[in-house]
A and B are shown apart, each in its own frame.
Chain A
Amino acid sequence: MNVIQAPSQLAHPGKPAAATLGLVDVDIHPRAHGLADYKPWLSERWWNYAQEYGARARHGFTGGQPPFPKAQPLACRRDAWPPGGGTPASDLNFLRSHHLDAHGIDVGVLNPLQPSGQGDRNNGFSAAMAHAVNEWQLETWLRPEPRLRGSVVVPYEDAAASAAEIRKRAGDPNFCQVLMMSRTAEPAGNPRYWPIYEAAAEAGLPVAFHAFGYSGWAMTNTGWPSFYIEEVSEHATSCQNQVTSLVVEGVFERLPALKVVLIECGFAWLPSVAWRLDRHWRHLKAEVPHLRRAPSEVIREHIWVSTQPMEEPEVGRHLKDVMGWIGWNRILFATDYPHWDFDDPRAALPATLPEEHRRDIYGGNARGVYGF
């Protein structure tokens, strides 16, 4: 955690000077107090179902207990619990003072996590929840606070229902992207998910994959790991698989307007995946004639990444190599507020990165991809 205690007399003591094109945080996690927050938008049937069975992710635990216990309660900063009660990022006023005002966030993108019903074993429940979570975002966060933008939460294991939810939100400027979790039940490029991407492209919304979710498969391709430290670092591998699948299945050939944003997935791995794909595609082209361009070109054109958690090379300047390989205009700033591994805007980007690139990462690139 990189937190700097700032003098309170300044209006935005936490805003970095290099953010001259604005400070956009693409990863803020609002949290409901409980399922009851969603009740106004759930039918009686699904409300009763939620009471009796609750969310059932593709693992055995109930009540939001994750299979790998977090490093601290709700994986949150200790100082992010609102003084008036409730869980971190459940209170708009405290979110304003503790994060938006303190750090001078001009635009904050909300990525609601559980309990959102995403990846639930029951597609009907997942669809009902996604609708409710989106209404809850509008009512609780987006209408009262103009600095915030929402993500269209979709029941992604049911592509038809997801597409319908996206079309319902199309044209609403409160929403800036479609949200999926990175651990889907099948690789994200699989044709079963294409209706989601078609609806997103049609609505002009990028599709964000936020690290997390439970695919129902072992968390590595060689079985279940033991530790939370592994679960966290394995986000990189599952996102590598998702990029590979999206590219190799030809999703971007089919939907040239589609933009994908990887949030909290790390990014230093992306060049290596692109190089590996290029190299072996050259030998295996005949298998995938639907791929007309080198995978690295497709990745460079269609995929954006976010900073937090940013890999930390042992030698700081090596980060510049990697960011250059990815493309300085493809990197978006994220804090992950209110989670424990939050990146403070002032400390997250090393001063060794050229100022014009820091400026773009803080704000310019997000304005480009989201059209803010």
Chain B
Amino acid sequence: MPAGLRAIDCDVHPMVPAMSALAPYLDEFWRDQVVERGITQLDSQSWPINAPKTIRADWRDEKGRGASTVSALQTQALEPFGADLAILNPLYGVQMVLNADMAVAFTRALNDWIRAEWLDRDPRLRASIVLPLQDIGAAVAEIERLAPDRRFVQALVLAMGDAPLGKREFWPVYEACVRHGLPLGVHAGSAYRHPQTSVGWTSWYLEEYVANQQAFQSQLASLITEGALGKFPGMKVVLLESGVTWLPAFLWRLGKTWKGVRFEVPWVDRAPAELVRDQVRLTVQPFDAPEDDPGAVQRILDHLRSEDMLLWASDWPHWQFDGDAAVPPGFPASTLPKLLRDNALATYDRLRGEEGSQ
């Protein structure tokens, strides 16, 4: 990492060791349910604990797990990569829960666990408010409950949910996000309401991991065509662990189709690529550039036609790179100040003016 740039790490993942860790943050009824019904963990197939991608080998503890303490984050990511701010995006499987009341209770507990056991222990940390989209009213209420704590800088949902995110049923959430200056973070992973592909369930984890790339395209198409981006021009959408190289081809296709059939969605009065450049941001781990073509990254950056869209992230503890090579290879040095810091400050209202302080 280049010295002196005071990087902002936009995607790190504290991992909940077990449901018992959330027990102190549940009310008596749900604490009892967890015990009586034997709910021991909510680990998701999106992140199989022992799979090599989920936790980098040298970041695992003696039990093979990881990312469960602030000190691990400090010594494995914050310090070696020189970040002075990091945004916590917990991926515990609360989105998979089918009982909406249970989902709301578990999600609130998860957010409270993040606040008490992470945010309170290091002033460099910020977090996303995990949203229980199983109940839209409760998701809005969760934003209202936590937004007064300005260490919560974003609202967080998964790339694969129940319905595409542009649908009108979600708009009260976006209204609350805009009101509180919170970008909508969309992170790789599934709530498993649908198969990982539009052609059914995948056999291999490699296929499933790759299929996140399709979810992000579908979510953007929905946010654009339903008019959500147009309705909330102040809303930023941050795609987390999305990969990046798919974006130009997606925009070229959607833009062309929009020219042909825009009569169907007359409220979309700007080209999709313009809307995306204004309102959508992406983290760069992974970036998914070719490994044997050093010039390709520059060409892909040209295709994006913007220097403001990409945000650096380590994706700790997921295995995206080895050693300290936390910036994907091929980025010209001139792009690094924006990539590592300035773009994040421009994206996250709540990081501006209070950097490094609580």
User: What 1/0 mask marks residues of chain A from 208 to 226 whose CB sits below 8 Å from any chain B CB?
Assistant: 0000000101111111111
Q: Answer whether residue A3 sits at the interface, using C-beta atoms and an 8 A cutoff.
A: no
Interface size class of A (residues with CB under 8 A): 35 or more
Beta-carbon nearest neighbor of A70 in chain B: B261
A184 to B203, CA, bound (A): 15
User: What 1/0 mask marks residues of chain A from 52 to 68 whose CB sits below 8 Å from any chain B CB?
Assistant: 00000000000000000
A340 to B259, CA, bound (A): 13
Q: Which of B37-45, B102-110, B193-201 contacts A (4 or more CB under 8 A)?
A: B193-201
Q: Which of A12-20, A129-137, A277-285 contacts B (4 or more CB under 8 A)?
A: A277-285
Whether A223 contacts B193 in the complex (CB less than 8 A), given A215-B198, A268-B249, A340-B260, comes out as yes
Q: Answer whether residue A287 sits at the interface, using C-beta atoms and an 8 A cutoff.
A: yes
Q: Answer whether residue A242 sits at the interface, using C-beta atoms and an 8 A cutoff.
A: yes
Find out whether the CB atom of A275 lies under 8 angstroms from the CB atom of B289.
yes
Q: How far is the CB of A138 from chain B (nearest CB, A)?
A: 30
Beta-carbon nearest neighbor of B247 in chain A: A272
Find out whether the CB atom of A315 lies under 8 angstroms from the CB atom of B53.
no
Whether A318 contacts B248 in the complex (CB less than 8 A), given A229-B225, A276-B288, comes out as yes
Find out whether the CB atom of A226 lies under 8 angstroms from the CB atom of B210.
no
Name the interface residues of A276-325: CB closer than 8 Å to any CB of B: 276-284, 286-288, 296, 309, 311-315, 318, 321-322, 325
Find out whether the CB atom of A232 lies under 8 angstroms from the CB atom of B261.
yes
Find out whether the CB atom of B264 lies under 8 angstroms from the CB atom of A228.
yes
Contacts of A225 in B (CB 8 A): 164, 218, 221-222, 225
Find out whether the CB atom of B194 lies under 8 angstroms from the CB atom of A268.
no
Find out whether the CB atom of A71 lies under 8 angstroms from the CB atom of B261.
yes
Q: Answer whether residue B159 sits at the interface, using C-beta atoms and an 8 A cutoff.
A: yes
Q: How far is the CB of A67 from chain B (nearest CB, A)?
A: 13
Q: Answer whether residue B290 sits at the interface, using C-beta atoms and an 8 A cutoff.
A: yes
Find out whether the CB atom of A222 lies under 8 angstroms from the CB atom of B253.
no
Contacts of A215 in B (CB 8 A): 198-200
Q: Which of B200, B258, B302 contacts A229 (CB 8 A)?
A: B258
Residue among A219, A234, A275, A340 with most chain B CB within 10 A? A275
Find out whether the CB atom of A183 lies under 8 angstroms from the CB atom of B260.
no
Contacts of B199 in A (CB 8 A): 182-188, 215, 217, 238, 241-242, 245
Contacts of A219 in B (CB 8 A): 198
Find out whether the CB atom of A276 lies under 8 angstroms from the CB atom of B252.
no
Q: How far is the CB of B270 from chain A (nearest CB, A)?
A: 13
Q: Which of B161, B209, B302 contacts A222 (CB 8 A)?
A: B161
Find out whether the CB atom of B163 lies under 8 angstroms from the CB atom of A223.
yes
Q: Answer whether residue A253 sits at the interface, using C-beta atoms and an 8 A cutoff.
A: no
Q: Answer whether residue B214 sits at the interface, using C-beta atoms and an 8 A cutoff.
A: yes
Q: Answer whether residue A271 sits at the interface, using C-beta atoms and an 8 A cutoff.
A: yes
Name the interface residues of A146-165: CB closer than 8 Å to any CB of B: none
Q: Answer whether residue A106 sits at the interface, using C-beta atoms and an 8 A cutoff.
A: no
Find out whether the CB atom of A278 lies under 8 angstroms from the CB atom of B291.
yes
A1 to B237, CA, bound (A): 33
Find out whether the CB atom of B249 lies under 8 angstroms from the CB atom of A314.
no
A296 to B299, CA, bound (A): 18
Name the interface residues of B236-266: CB closer than 8 Å to any CB of A: 243, 245-246, 248-250, 252-258, 260-265
Name the interface residues of A244-278: CB closer than 8 Å to any CB of B: 244-245, 248-249, 266, 268-269, 271-278
Q: Answer whether residue B213 sits at the interface, using C-beta atoms and an 8 A cutoff.
A: yes
Find out whether the CB atom of B164 lies under 8 angstroms from the CB atom of A266.
no
Q: Answer whether residue B137 sits at the interface, using C-beta atoms and an 8 A cutoff.
A: no
Contacts of A186 in B (CB 8 A): 199-201
Whether A223 contacts B161 in the complex (CB less than 8 A), given A232-B257, A233-B253, comes out as yes
Q: What are the 4 A-B residue pairs with the smallest beta carbon separation, nearest first? A: A268-B249, A220-B218, A311-B252, A241-B197
Can you pick out 13 interface pairs between chain A and chain B where the beta carbons lie within 8 Å of each other? A187-B207, A220-B164, A220-B218, A221-B197, A222-B160, A223-B162, A223-B194, A226-B166, A226-B222, A226-B226, A284-B52, A287-B205, A315-B305
